Amino acid sequence: MAPPSSWSDIPLELAGLVLRRLPANVDRVRFAAVCPQWRAAAREVTLPSPLPLLALPDGTVYSLPGSEPLRFPGCTGYADACGNWLAFSTEEGCFLSDPFSNATVTLPQLSRLQAPCHRGGRLVSWIEIEEPPEKLTMYKPVFCSRQLIAIFITYQYSTKVAVCQPGAASWWSVHVDHRFELTDDMAFHQGKLYILNDDDHSLFAMDISVDHRTGAPWICQVRRVISGVLIPRPAIRGICRNEHQKMLYLVESESHGTLLMIHRKTYGQGRIGPRWLVAGTFVSSGWEFEVFMADFQQSKWTKVTTIGDDQVLFLRRRCSRFIRVSPEDMQGDGIIFLDRDDEDHDWYDHRGSSSDSCKVCDMRDGTVSPFVPSVHFERRSVPATWLFPQV
């Protein structure tokens, strides 16, 4: 009599079919942990990108599309996020960490800033910028390539763009010629940094050069590639039931090779008064999304009505990304977001619920519905973020 077959003996092709039906990263990890044969299958089978994790700074994560919280100590205490990297700031310095592989990339301390002096596009010298560390804040790190990391940095009551080489703990190169706002967004696309202006939807391209003596990157030129139109911000007076708040996001669609602007409107009831009497509050009740593609040839934004039946966009102010999905696992052409985003933190009414939840906007008809209804988490000074495992 032949011995009974073992689950570890399943053919590689069949193991691949099973793995492809597991969009959650934690399920793929569990699959590979069953036995050496399944672990080998997980390494050899080409898989689509897993769905991201929803990470909280206390080390709690949700592995979508599940709703049960898990503990992930590698996430504890992060200050920001960038794809599969988490940013940490300690007294010893700043660094990026990949909690999936435990890889670490050191960054210069925030107080180590220098500005390039250049003439005619050529670097002439460097000037050290002196600023107390307590007045410096970094946010929105972008891991552009193995040679370039970019961040927004706030100092002297303004927001600047700083760049450095990954692993370099020496200096941040700060571009001081342009002033940006906290609500502006940044993305890396086809070898250039792009900045989206929140006030008028203008798009700026930053050309990166390298100091041939040190290998340090620096921003040598900033060009306005799309001129926007100034859109007045809504002025809230007393109680306004049909008020809305605007947020803009800049996201690269790698599969289509395009750069997209996501315009999000949050509708609700606002209330504001003299600062010494009434604090600003905003209670959300509805959402609307518009998507525009950067048309560089005509220097304009072109509205698009779909992001693709095989894609969903996980949207977050500090970390957004498109993910390919299969119809068996999830409906495409949708935007998954958190109903409160961190830049609007001070606007929301904290007298009621102090939690955020995930929602999805169907681009086909604009309807918004709960994505994972049981995922709720309390807001902290550092917000929750999407965390995208590497394929």
Q: Domain coordinates of the chain in residue numbers? A: 8-44, 78-230, 232-382
- State the average pLDDT for the chain: 81
Is pLDDT of 277 > 60? no
**This prediction's pTM:** 0.84
Is pLDDT of 354 > 60? no
In terms of CATH architecture, what is 8-44? Up-down Bundle (1.20)
Q: Which range, 136-140, 210-214, 360-364, is most confident?
A: 360-364
Nearest CA-CA partner of 225 in 262, 185, 256, 197:
197
**Residues 165, 215 contacting (CB under 8 angstroms):** yes
Q: Which two tokens stand for residue 202?
A: 């203008």
Comparing 102-106, 248-252, 346-350, which segment has the lowest mean pLDDT?
Answer: 346-350
Residues 6+ apart with CB under 8 A from 149: 96, 105, 107, 141, 142, 143, 163, 164, 165, 166
In the DSSP assignment, the letter for residue 31 is H
Using pLDDT thresholds of 50, 70 and 90, give the confidence band for residue 255.
Answer: confident
Is pLDDT of 287 > 50? yes
In single-letter form, the type of residue at position 263 comes to H
Using pLDDT thresholds of 50, 70 and 90, give the confidence band for residue 98.
Answer: very high
Write down the residue that tokens 């967004």 correspond to. 185
Comparing 227-231, 263-267, 299-303, which segment has the lowest mean pLDDT?
Answer: 227-231
Is pLDDT of 117 > 90? no
Nearest CA-CA partner of 383 in 334, 348, 333, 352:
348
Q: Which pLDDT value is given to residue 121?
A: 65
3-state secondary structure (DSSP) of residue 101: coil
In single-letter form, the type of residue at position 373 comes to P
Residues 321 and 329: their CA atoms lie apart, in Å, by: 18
Is pLDDT of 35 > 70? yes
Q: Which pLDDT value is given to residue 320?
A: 94
Tell which wins on pLDDT, 344 or 142.
Answer: 142
